[in-house]
Structure 1
Amino acid sequence: MDSEERPQLRRGDNPLYAVLLLAWVLFGVSLFALVLRGAWEEVRAEFQAEAEADIELLRDRLRTNDALLSGFGAFLDALGAPTREQIAGYASRVLVEHPHIYMLEVVEKVPARARDDFEQALAAQAGPGARIRSFAYQDGLRWQPVGEKAAYFPISFRWPETPESLPVLGLDFDSVPHLRDALRRAEAGHGAASTRPFALIEGPLAYVVMRRTDTVHSILRVAGAEQRYALLVVKADAMVPGRRNPRTAHVLRMLGETGPQDPPLYAILAARPASALERRLLPQFTLNVEDVSTSQPVRLSVTRQLRFRDIRSEPLLLAIGLALSTLAVLVLYLRRHRAAVARERERLEHATHSALHDPLTGLPNRRLFHDRVGRASACWRRTGEGFALFFVDLDRFKDVNDSYGHDVGDAVLGTVAARMRDSVRETDTVARIAGDEFVVLLPGVSELATAEPLAEKLLRAVGQPVELRDGLVLEITASLGLSVCPEHGSEPEELIRHADAAMYGEKRAGRIRSEDASSAAAERATVRAPRLRVVRKLVRGHNGPVSGGGRKKVARGA
Structure 2
Amino acid sequence: MQFHRLRQYGLVLLVLCISLAVSFLAWQHEKNNTLLNLHASLDFNVRDVSGRIEQRMAAYEQVLHGVQGVYAASGEITRANFAAYVNALQLGADYAGMGGIGVATAVPASQKESHILQMRQAGFADYDIRTQGLHAMYVPVLQLEPFVGRNLETLGLDLYADPRQRSAMDRARDSGNAAISSKLVLAKDRRQSSAADTAEFLMYLPLYKAGSANDTPAERLTNIRGWIFAPFRVQDMMASLYGENQAATDVQIYDGVETTPDTLMYDSAPRTDGKRLQAHDPERIMATEYVTNGGHTWTIVVNSLPGYDEHIGKDKSKFIAASGIVLSLLLTLLTWQLATGRERALTLARDMTRELRASEARFRYLAQYDELTGLPNRAMFKDRLHHAISQARRDKTHMALMYLDLDNFKPVNDSLGHHVGDMLLKAVADRMLTCVRESDTVARIGGDEFVVLLSVIEHEQDAVLVAEKIRHALNQPFEVAGGHVLEVSSSTGIVLYPEHGTDEVELSRNADNAMYKAKELGRNMVRMYQP
Q: TM-score if structure 1 supplies the norm length?
A: 0.46
Higher relative contact order (CA 8 A, sep 6+): 2
When Rg is computed on C-alpha atoms for both structures, the one with the higher figure is: 1
Q: TM-score if structure 2 supplies the norm length?
A: 0.48
